[in-house]
Structure 1
Amino acid sequence: MTQSYDYKNPVIEQRADPWMYKHTDGYYYFTASVPEYDRIEVRRAKTIEGLKGATPAVVWRKYDEGPLSANIWAPEIHYIDGAWYIYFAAARTTETDNGLFDHRMYALACQSNNPVEGTWEEKGQVKSKWESFCLDATVFEHKGDHYYVWAQKDPDIEGNSNMYIDKMVNPWTLKGDQVMISQPEYEWEKVGFYVNEGAAVIKRNGKIFMTFSGSATDHNYRMGLLYADEESDLLNPSSWHKLDKPVFATSEENGQYGPGHNSFTTSEDGEKDLLVYHARNYKEIDGDPLYDPNRHTRVQAFEWDENGFPVFEKPVPDAD
């Protein structure tokens, strides 16, 4: 039986910043920002569409006060050296702004084979060069080293967030050699806010490709692409090249607005690369788009061009 790669979108409603990982046990593991921004959930299923009906396990909840008490954003689940880790951002509640844009990065760990049923422990803050707004950490392995990529506000650079990379001493500690590999420079990255965030990595065709998202989280949100040669020094900023145009953006004709903050996975049969992302199916938003709950998780297959680069096309319409 031939598998269809046309997934019924949205795959999961009201889940933004989706992270979907296919493990060696044959299960897909999924986590994302929940509309309440108050907890971290993990669900698993044998199929992508099975994730929709899977019971989410709440593996961590925010504190009532202090540094981990507000706006729990963009968790990712990774399997590193025989253990599970979740990376996420959290802020502190304040009297004036409820912690908006006061985020720091944190890590959780779980030693169980099944992270949905296992016990998670806090490993503390993942500290970088500055105590400033930072979020959207992802990790990837290359040539035996683990790299950590994240978005952060440099106090000396105009704008909201740039992207940085560093090697890891262990899954919750950076080596301390962070370098900036991207900052908002094109107009499409600077609509509403000067933003580079939400990195995701896929290695193919002798290159390391890194998608990211830019601009405000309304219909102007869109994805860009960095790439580096797999033999290059990934801690050398000159190894990374940025395309000057977005690679995935709003499609008015398909009714998809503000697609971005993606992850990558593969189809159930392992034959097709898949883009996992969030988008809304309407353009006009009442109030701050960060508090509009209807960024839904979507999945679609993509191809590679003759030069070995990913071709994402347009976000597909919602299923009938």
Structure 2
Amino acid sequence: MRAIAAVLMMIALVVAAPATPASAAPGANFQNPIVGTPNSADPWLGYHNGSYYYTATTWTGRIYIRKSATLAGLRTAPETTVFTMSQPNAVSNMWAPSMHLLNGRWYLYYSAGPSACCGGQRQHVLESAGSDPMGPYTYKGALVLMPNNGWSIDGSVLTVNGINYFVYSAFNNNSGFENGGLQSLYITRLTNPWTPAGIGTLISEPTYAWERVGNPVNEGPYPLQRNGRTFLTYSASYCGTPDYKIGSLELTGSNPLARSSWTKMASPLFQRNDTNGVYGPAHHSFFKSPDGTEDWIVYHANDAASQGCGTTRTSRAQRIAWNPDGTPSLGVPVSNATVQAGPSGELGNPGAVTVQRLQSYNLPDRYVRHSNYAVRVDPAVTPALDAQFRIVPGLADSGAVSFESVNFPGHYLRHNNYVLRLEPNTGTTTYRQDATFRQVAGLADSSWQSFQSYNFPDRYIRHSNYVLRIDPVSTTTERADATFRRVS
């Protein structure tokens, strides 16, 4: 079939209007992991003044930060030591660093303890001298968060209505690391970035079965806010199992310190995907793209179900989406083989990437959507994100377009034996060509659009029995089947 592609490329399109490229260029392509072992579990990643900053668990007495102009560049960026611990009972086992810019300075929160792991873990905080995330840093102190200065880990800062709160994980009833119990989520107000107003109050325990695999655990809380709504995402189940995953609470009441103000989502947001070879995807943070239009997650995961809670875990990143009801959609953890486009606005690339649906011309109640990776036109698409695509410059020709799934990052519409599928980007020349289409004036109505195959230019995207294909188009019916409108 591909042997005739070169000949078909010579066929001229007489009636085509000029192609309309997408409005922005994504960042540099990358593949997971963004940072490999050994210092790559429990990652925090942020973007500030033109650079990405990354830090993660080291298991030692040192804290490192990486800096890069691109997300892809973090993999080879040097580790810079920003702090070496020497405080009493806090000289090793550094876990879960989390950085926050408060009042013009960076505060780096981390868990640490003595050389014997892990019953001595407590929260500590560093302060930067200025607004540079690389420091230098000074030690501000330990945060006393539980009765009798009990065990506490995984802290981060949540800001609601201008008030800073500290959210973290500890054992209910202050039962301690050695005594088991329910590892739960707590919150307290901060009087300043290094001083809690008091002992924390319980806001979430591991109650669902999916939160209790291996051990009953809620840990790694991290805020996610959008359009006035506050979500507190967290890691659930034991990190030594492949079923470590991400859940979420939403602040539905007025007092963040009250457990009654938080509503837990009944299902996890993000979990293992055996098909993609991703196990235990959790302990995460979120960051914005450089142009501020996209939300991204960074998390750790294992490559095998048998790997556990140690240094096998690597840091991965992918774009997230939002459901029409305003709740977050973290999607499916992508395979390490999938080529992803970097965040929008990297290295000064202009504008936001367009997210739209494709409406059928002759079946106007139907939209292009993916369903179990098949591509169809359907009405009343559920979930709605299955019908939304990032329309980006063509993978094989920047003057054309490609269609990336909103909720399956790195997956594009591509033809395979003339049938359209949603498939992960393998980065090959064949894939890029199969996933590239020239936008032309609608074959049935010039105010709409049609999409000509890049490598089979006698064929256009059209629906046939509701299934999307690329076919030659000659009849009135075929022209209508091959005409679509890009709508928000």
TM over 0.5: yes
Q: Counterpart of 1:146?
A: 164
Are 1:251 and 2:280 counterparts?
Answer: no
Question: Separation in 1 of the partners of 2:304 and 2:174?
Answer: 36
The DSSP-based 3-state class of the residue aligned with 2:210 is helix
The DSSP-based 3-state class of the residue aligned with 2:309 is helix
Alignment map for 1:33-182 (pairs within 5 Å) = 33-34=57-58, 36-63=59-86, 66-93=88-115, 98-116=116-134, 118-130=135-147, 131-155=149-173, 159-176=181-198, 178-182=200-204
Q: Counterpart of 1:276?
A: 298
Which whole-Å deviations, capped at 9, do the CAs of 1:47-103 have from their partners, x for residues lacking one? 22222222221111234x84112311111111110111110011123xxxx221321
The DSSP-based 3-state class of the residue aligned with 1:188 is helix
Match of 2:55 among 26, 31, 35: 31
For the aligned residues, what is the CA RMSD?
1.9
Are 1:312 and 2:318 counterparts?
Answer: no
Are 1:21 and 2:43 counterparts?
Answer: no
Higher relative contact order (CA 8 A, sep 6+): 1
The DSSP-based 3-state class of the residue aligned with 2:101 is strand
Question: Separation in 1 of the partners of 2:119 and 2:299?
Answer: 22
Between Structure 1 and Structure 2, how many residues are aligned? Answer: 307
Q: Rate the CA distance shift 1:52–1:108 in 2: closer, same or farther, 3 A.
A: same
147-156 or 166-175: bigger deviation: 147-156
Q: Counterpart of 2:405?
A: none
Q: CA deviation at 1:159?
A: 2.0
Q: Counterpart of 1:262?
A: 284
Which amino acid letter does the alignment assign opposite residue 312 of structure 1? L
Q: CA deviation at 1:209?
A: 0.8
Q: Rate the CA distance shift 1:6–1:163 in 2: closer, same or farther, 3 A.
A: farther
Which amino acid letter does the alignment assign opposite residue 124 of structure 1? G
Q: CA deviation at 1:190?
A: 1.2
Question: Separation in 2 of the partners of 1:190 and 1:111?
Answer: 42
- Note if contact 1:47-1:268 (Cα within 8 Å) is conserved in structure 2: no
The DSSP-based 3-state class of the residue aligned with 1:162 is strand
Which whole-Å deviations, capped at 9, do the CAs of 1:147-204 have from their partners, x for residues lacking one? 1100011336662421111111000111116321101111111111121100111111
Which amino acid letter does the alignment assign opposite residue 217 of structure 2? V
- Note if contact 2:104-2:130 (Cα within 8 Å) is conserved in structure 1: no
Name the structure where helix makes up a greater proportion of residues.
Answer: 2
Q: CA deviation at 1:4?
A: 5.3
Which amino acid letter does the alignment assign opposite residue 125 of structure 1? A
The DSSP-based 3-state class of the residue aligned with 2:232 is strand
Question: Separation in 1 of the partners of 2:320 and 2:29?
Answer: 11
Which amino acid letter does the alignment assign opposite residue 192 of structure 2? N
Q: Which runs of 5+ in 1 are unaligned?
A: none
Which amino acid letter does the alignment assign opposite residue 99 of structure 1? C
Question: Separation in 1 of the partners of 2:174 and 2:319?
Answer: 40
Q: Counterpart of 1:290?
A: 309
Which amino acid letter does the alignment assign opposite residue 306 of structure 1? P
Q: CA deviation at 1:7?
A: 4.1
Question: Separation in 2 of the partners of 1:37 and 1:193?
Answer: 25
- Note if contact 1:6-1:301 (Cα within 8 Å) is conserved in structure 2: no
Question: Separation in 1 of the partners of 2:92 and 2:75?
Answer: 26
Q: Which runs of 5+ in 2 are unaligned?
A: 1-23, 339-488
Which amino acid letter does the alignment assign opposite residue 30 of structure 1? Y
Q: Rate the CA distance shift 1:156–1:77 in 2: closer, same or farther, 3 A.
A: closer
Q: CA deviation at 1:274?
A: 0.6
- Note if contact 1:160-1:194 (Cα within 8 Å) is conserved in structure 2: yes
- Note if contact 2:129-2:138 (Cα within 8 Å) is conserved in structure 1: no
Question: Separation in 1 of the partners of 2:73 and 2:229?
Answer: 32
The DSSP-based 3-state class of the residue aligned with 1:155 is helix
Asked which structure has the greater CA Rg, the reply is: 2
Q: CA deviation at 1:227?
A: 0.6
Question: Separation in 2 of the partners of 1:159 and 1:5?
Answer: 45
The DSSP-based 3-state class of the residue aligned with 2:260 is helix
Q: Report percent identity of matched pairs.
A: 34
Q: Rate the CA distance shift 1:126–1:7 in 2: closer, same or farther, 3 A.
A: same
Q: Counterpart of 1:208?
A: 230
